[in-house]
């Protein structure tokens, strides 16, 4: 076997990480034997993925018998998929099993919080276990491959698919990507309980124009490499099995036809040697975007670009044999793609034991099992972010005897699941209202009012507000449950407005103005909303995201104080929607961001609203307080081949046990290209009892300071650097050091 060593330097917002891996250039006799006996039509069939929703039709069955299907999507249930597999193995000439694929995004039956929420935990172990739980359930239902994780970095909360990502930062996004890949693919000891992972969407899909899905915005190669590629590299380094291309284009070329992006960057530079999958119907999309004249040309572009599996369009099975026989396409390209697909099926264990993954009795054991419920609840608790807590409104005092639960999402079970909810049922979801009642049991009496209605984006239900005011007036505490319906975020869920839909802001303001009852607002959403007015009228504000099946329990335990919130924002919350895009790691400009006390107009600021966000990246409160000491550096000078350690003492000075997520940021004072004001370079999770102190330590090397220079190559430049350690990107202690030649 010939081993080719590949060494690549990639960048995560200025963080450089050197990966070295071995790419095996070899052949597997079992795979070659299968490949040799396939006809050209059967080879094209192995590259074809078809949707089978509900009961398979006779057409589906016949396609499988004829060897025209290599993979299926939307086919669910171990018993159902076993029957389809038996057709493929026992009735088709090739006898090659089908690979069953699905969108298992955040849970399958026991639904976990949306990925943006999970990123707010900053807890890679919990994120990995969440993916492992999803794998246990989906594999029990006859699925072998998932289209997750989505690792697109996004700085525009108008984009609905920010729900499915890890936020705005490539360093955090890269760690989350690796954790989810490991969880799906290796999280369970029994390999038949794991899923093959697909990292998507390669590449730059999160840079959507105006927050509209599928909307092309050309980005510079520097941005591609600094911001968008690092999470993909982390997933590849973690062993991800497949990559999905993006709907959109890069540098004017649709991803499905971008040979340089897929072959040179993804495969040659980044070292990916797995299966490359199109997104839904993206081959015919080449005609719609005007780069292909017809289906024949589109299919040729896609296979030449390096795509191995055609998702749903059937252009490969219809046109690849014709392209080869006409001499327009070398059969070797088809063989290479089939070889990768067969290796993927071998990795899934299907070639050696095609029926081993189809055990109908496992479904009942796994669905909503105690183990999966515990994993979902753990990540839900850790994902919740406390944004405001004046006068120690939370946790709920024992003196509170009556709680008015108000809002359109207090009893809404479906909204807690989010857009991609697998086979999760709203009936299994613990609503926030039910969670509160169970948590406080007989100690508190509850009343409920919907307050307003959310009917699409109409301002409906104003007539319900007076009743809400009445029950709020007679209660000791109001818990407002606000947010958005499940379909308002997710794919195709772009919104121009970032204000809570309908009359929800008016509802909060009216209750605040007409009663003296303290208000706790809980927000259920898949994106950062502009919560400026909600925060103004709330004594406490909790970002619950779309917390999944166990969400009501998790929210109730946070409000009661049984669990001390520890989440930190993975994305900036704007003060005003006109600030979009707003993120923490802006690059330095010629003019300051702060207008200063003299209101200097010659700054990169606004005249009408603050430049700063409502809540910055990395922000999140606790029921306890954490005191930070001063930063200690092992040296003020860092040599090119050395390291320095930065440490800080953190003390829990409050009355609750709690977790603090200590964050490290760096700033390059002078560089050959403009650099960000600060970049996340590390973080530490400290669990502290009252009065306890721990030290967070970080190691910095010259590689940590590398960035892409003027020639788009790795560079490390000597000079002065600022180092920040603290609670968030906006609240920290500072020190400095020098990188010497």
Three-state SS letters, 528-584: CCCCHHHHHCCCEEEECCCCCCCHHHHHHHHHHCCCCCCCCCCCCECCCHHHCCCCC
Cα torsion at 286, 291, 294, 299 (round to 10°)?
Answer: -50
- Please say whether the beta carbons of 194 and 249 come within 8 A: no
Query: What are 378's two structure tokens?
Result: 């753990």
In this structure, the strands spanning 540-543 and 707-708 are unpaired
Neighbours of 79 (CB within 10 A): 13
DSSP string over 645-679: EEEEEEEE-SSS-EEEEEEEEEEESS-SS--BS-E
| Cβ-proximal residues to 383 (8 Å cutoff; 6+ apart), any chain | 113, 117, 118, 120, 121, 545, 547, 567
Q: Report the SS3 class of residue 163.
A: helix
- Catalytic residue (one of 279, 310, 539, 668): 279
| Cβ-proximal residues to 531 (8 Å cutoff; 6+ apart), any chain | 387, 500, 523, 541, 573, 614, 615
- Please say whether the beta carbons of 243 and 232 come within 8 A: yes
Q: How far apart are CA 694 and CA 50, in angstroms?
A: 54
Catalytic residue check, 279? yes
| Cβ-proximal residues to 270 (8 Å cutoff; 6+ apart), any chain | 8, 10, 229, 232, 233, 236
- Please say whether the beta carbons of 173 and 151 come within 8 A: yes
Question: CA angle, corner 239, sides to 233 and 240, nearest 5?
Answer: 75
CA 95 remoteness from chain centre: 37
Known catalytic residues are 279
């Amino acid at each position: 076997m010939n081993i080719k060593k590949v060494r690549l330097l990639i960048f995560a917002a200025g963080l450089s990480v050197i990966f070295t891996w071995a790419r095996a250039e070899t052949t597997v006799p079992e795979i070659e034997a299968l490949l040799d006996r396939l006809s050209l039509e059967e080879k094209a069939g192995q590259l074809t993925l078809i949707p089978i929703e509900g009961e398979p039709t006779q057409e589906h069955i016949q396609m499988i018998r004829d060897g025209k299907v290599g993979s299926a999507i939307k086919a669910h249930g171990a018993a159902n998929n076993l029957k389809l597999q038996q057709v493929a193995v026992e009735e088709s000439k090739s006898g090659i099993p089908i690979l069953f694929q699905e969108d298992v995004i955040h849970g399958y039956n026991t639904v976990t919080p949306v990925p943006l929420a999970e990123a707010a935990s900053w807890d890679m172990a919990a994120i990995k276990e969440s993916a492992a739980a999803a794998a246990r359930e989906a594999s029990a239902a006859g699925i072998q491959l998932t289209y997750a994780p989505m690792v697109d970095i996004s700085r525009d909360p108008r984009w609905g698919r920010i729900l499915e990502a890890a936020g705005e930062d490539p360093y955090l996004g890269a760690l989350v990507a690796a954790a989810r890949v490991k969880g799906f693919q290796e999280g369970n000891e029994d390999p038949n309980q794991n899923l093959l992972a697909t990292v998507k969407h390669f590449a730059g899909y999160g840079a959507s124009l105006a927050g509209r899905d599928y909307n092309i915005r050309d980005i510079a190669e520097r941005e591609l490499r600094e911001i968008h590629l690092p999470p993909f590299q982390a997933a590849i380094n973690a062993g991800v099995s497949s990559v999905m291309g993006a709907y959109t284009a890069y540098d004017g070329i649709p991803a499905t036809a971008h040979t340089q992006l897929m072959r040179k960057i993804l495969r040659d530079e980044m070292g990916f040697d797995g299966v490359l999958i199109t997104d839904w119907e993206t081959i015919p999309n080449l005609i719609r975007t005007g780069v292909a004249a017809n289906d024949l040309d589109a299919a040729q572009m896609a296979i030449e670009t390096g795509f191995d599996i055609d998702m749903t369009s059937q252009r490969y099975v219809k046109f690849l044999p014709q392209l080869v026989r006409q001499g327009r396409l070398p059969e070797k390209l088809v063989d290479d793609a089939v070889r990768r697909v067969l290796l993927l099926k071998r990795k899934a264990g299907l070639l050696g034991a095609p029926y081993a993954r189809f055990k109908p009795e496992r479904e009942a054991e796994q669905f909503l099992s105690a183990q999966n419920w515990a994993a979902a609840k753990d990540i839900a608790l850790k994902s919740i972010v406390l944004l405001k807590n004046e006068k120690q409104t939370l946790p709920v005092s024992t003196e509170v005897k009556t709680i008015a639960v108000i809002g359109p999402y207090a009893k809404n079970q479906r909204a807690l699941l989010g857009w991609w909810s697998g086979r999760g049922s709203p009936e299994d979801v613990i609503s926030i209202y039910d969670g509160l009642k169970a948590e406080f049991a007989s100690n508190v009496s509850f009343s409920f009012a919907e307050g307003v209605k959310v009917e699409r984006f109409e301002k409906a239900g104003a007539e319900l507000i007076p009743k809400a005011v009445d029950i709020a007036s007679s209660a000791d505490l109001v818990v407002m449950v606000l947010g958005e319906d499940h379909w308002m975020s997710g794919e195709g869920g772009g919104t121009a407005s970032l204000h809570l839909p309908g009359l929800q802001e008016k509802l909060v303001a009216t209750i605040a103005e007409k009663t003296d009852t303290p208000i706790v607002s809980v927000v259920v959403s898949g994106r950062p909303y502009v919560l400026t007015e909600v925060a103004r009228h709330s004594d406490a504000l909790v970002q619950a995201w779309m917390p999944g099946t166990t969400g009501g329990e998790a929210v109730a335990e946070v409000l009661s104080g049984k669990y001390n919130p520890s989440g930190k924002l993975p994305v900036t919350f704007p003060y005003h929607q006109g600030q979009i895009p707003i993120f923490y790691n802006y690059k330095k400009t010629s003019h300051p961001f702060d207008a200063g006390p003299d209101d200097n107009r010659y700054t990169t600021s606004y005249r009408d609203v603050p430049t700063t966000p409502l809540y910055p990246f990395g922000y999140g409160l606790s029921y306890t307080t954490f005191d930070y000491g001063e930063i200690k550096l092992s040296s003020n000078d860092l040599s090119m081949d050395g390291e320095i350690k930065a440490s800080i003492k953190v003390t829990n000075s409050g009355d609750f046990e709690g977790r603090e997520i200590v964050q490290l940021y760096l700033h390059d004072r002078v560089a050959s290209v403009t650099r960000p004001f600060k970049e996340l370079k590390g973080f530490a999770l400290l669990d502290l009892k009252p009065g306890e102190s721990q030290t967070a330590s970080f190691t910095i090397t010259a590689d940590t300071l590398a960035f892409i220079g003027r020639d788009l190559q790795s560079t490390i430049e000597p000079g002065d650097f600022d180092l920040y350690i603290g609670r968030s990107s906006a609240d920290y202690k500072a020190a400095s050091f020098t990188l010497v030649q």
